[in-house]
């Protein structure tokens, strides 16, 4: 199976699983509608795909068993995007080429939709069929650490309230805000399969390096990207006065650092990436245009 074929197999499984969530019709259905609006708005599904691949590589008999775990992190990622777009944060009108959640449902419902997605993510993990109690607890702890006060939220605080301006400060923001969640999704796959610590450490390093490369490329696309393809306005970071990797390193320096981080990610999992899927994923993200 080629990289693209496996990626699409995983992605379709993720889309099908997510489409089956929050389909009931209680009299608070407007909440479900707001949650599904952002959850099903497309996207590359990189994070759950990585969870499924790491579970497969770690020896999980059927990678479908890890779907609730990978999709749980996607719920948390979706909540973070809803809140990130709010007027009190980045005040964005577009996400993935569509109006942001608060533009469609209002600020109050957008906040509540994000609030609801967080505990629902842990429900998915803690009720995942065919995983042991130990694996469920392990996965829940990984997600809590990745998304919490010493992970993604810490990165958001530094980004929005601490005005990072040195390379070390900007890199710390993105290690926490982006890297922690991508490293978390890789570790989730390993934990779902009961992998040993050597494998988990490799998964974590791959995720952090991939996350840094991903964010640097994002900063580049905010300068050189096409708004139609990128799915959100170009130049928004500059308008907000944020210091980015492009400001610090220039486009050429950013390109070199993306390649270096990508190489480190590939090297971290070389012993386990038997058919090169993880290497191909890293290389494809390094050159993305959206």
Residue 229 has pLDDT above 70, yes or no: no
Give the range of the structural domain holding residue 96, as residue numbers without chain letter.
Answer: 3-286
Q: What is the pLDDT of residue 289?
A: 86
SS3 174: helix
- For residue 269 the two structure tokens come to 């999992």
Rounded to two decimals, what is the model's pTM? 0.94
Q: Find out whether 174 and 211 touch, Cβ atoms under 8 Å.
A: yes
Residue with more model confidence, 230 or 102: 102
Query: Strands 98-99, 94-95: parallel, antiparallel or unpaired by DSSP?
Result: antiparallel
CATH code, domain carrying 187: 1.10.600.10
Q: What's the pLDDT score for residue 97?
A: 87
| C-alpha closest to that of 66 among 5, 124, 4 | 124
- Look at residue 132 and give its three-state secondary structure: coil
Which pLDDT does position 228 carry in this prediction? 64
Count of domains for the chain = 1
| ∠ CA 224-233-281, rounded to 5° | 60
Non-local CB neighbours of 211 within 8 Å, separated by 6+ positions: 174, 175, 178, 179, 180, 181, 182, 183
pLDDT tens track for 244-272: 999 999 999 999 999 999 999 999 999 99
- Whether residue 236 has pLDDT greater than 80: no
Name which residue leads in pLDDT, 39 or 232: 39
Whether 90 contacts 39, CB under 8 Å: no
- pLDDT tens, 170-184? 999 999 999 999 999
Q: Give 162's contacts (C-beta < 8 A, 6+ positions apart).
A: 169
pLDDT score recorded for residue 237? 67
| Spatial separation of the C-alpha atoms in residues 150 and 184, rounded to whole Å | 13
Please give the Cα distance from 193 to 151 (Å, whole number): 23
| Residue 111: closest CA among 83, 152, 74 | 83
């Amino acid at each position: 199976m080629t990289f693209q074929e496996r990626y699409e197999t995983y992605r379709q499984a993720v889309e099908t699983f997510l489409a089956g969530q929050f389909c009931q019709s209680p009299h608070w259905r407007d909440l479900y509608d707001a949650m599904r609006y952002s959850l099903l708005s497309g996207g590359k599904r990189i994070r759950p795909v990585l969870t499924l691949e790491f579970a497969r590589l770690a020896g999980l008999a059927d990678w479908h068993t890890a779907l609730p775990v990978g999709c749980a992190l996607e719920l948390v990622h979706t909540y973070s995007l809803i809140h990130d777009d709010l007027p009190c944060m980045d005040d964005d009108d577009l996400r993935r080429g569509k109006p942001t959640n608060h533009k469609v449902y209002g600020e109050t419902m957008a906040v509540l939709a994000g609030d609801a997605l967080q505990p629902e993510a842990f429900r998915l993990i803690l009720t995942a069929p065919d995983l042991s109690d130990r694996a469920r607890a392990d996965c829940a702890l990984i997600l809590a650490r990745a998304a919490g006060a010493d992970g993604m939220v810490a990165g958001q605080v530094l980004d929005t309230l601490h005005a990072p301006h040195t390379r070390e400060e900007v890199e710390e923001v993105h290690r926490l805000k982006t890297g922690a969640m991508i490293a978390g999704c890789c570790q989730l796959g390993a934990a779902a399969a009961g992998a040993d610590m050597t494998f988990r450490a490799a998964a974590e390093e791959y995720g952090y390096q991939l996350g840094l490369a991903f964010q640097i490329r994002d900063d580049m696309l905010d300068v050189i990207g096409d708004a139609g393809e990128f799915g959100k306005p170009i130049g928004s970071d500059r308008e907000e006065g944020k210091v980015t990797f492009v400001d610090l390193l220039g486009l050429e320096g950013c390109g070199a650092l993306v390649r270096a981080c990508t190489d480190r990610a590939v090297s971290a999992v070389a012993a386990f990436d038997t058919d090169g899927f993880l290497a191909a994923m890293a290389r494809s993200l390094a050159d993305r245009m959206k």
